[in-house]
Amino acid sequence: MRTLMKIFLVFAIIGAINWGLIGLFGVDLVALLFGEMSFLSKLVYILVGISGICSLYFLFDMPEDHHK
C-alpha cells in the first residue's frame, strides 16, 4: 500500500506542477511533451485525476504509522 501511495503522490505532484505552469505562464507541459490531447496526454490527465481522488482517501484514512 505504501508504494501505491507514492505512485499517487507522484502523479498528484505532476498535476500540481502542470496546473501551476498553466496558471503562471499559460504553458501546459503535458501537452507540450506528449501532444495536445494525444493518447499519452489523456493517459497522464486520467492518472492525475485518479491520483487526486485516491489521495482524498489517504488524506482521511491514513495508516497509523503516518500519524507520528
Entry pTM: 0.79
Q: What is the percent of the chain with per-residue pLDDT over 70, rounded to a whole number?
A: 90
Average pLDDT, the chain: 89
Over range 42-66, report the average pLDDT. 84
Identity (one letter) of the amino acid at 55? S
Rounded average pLDDT over 57-63: 74
Please say if the pLDDT value at position 65 is more than 70.
no
In angstroms, the CA 34 to CA 54 distance is 24
**Helix intervals (H) in the chain:** 2-25, 29-34, 39-60
Domain spans in the chain, listed from the N-terminal domain onward: 2-62
- pLDDT tens digits, residue range 19-49? 999 999 999 999 999 999 999 999 999 999 9
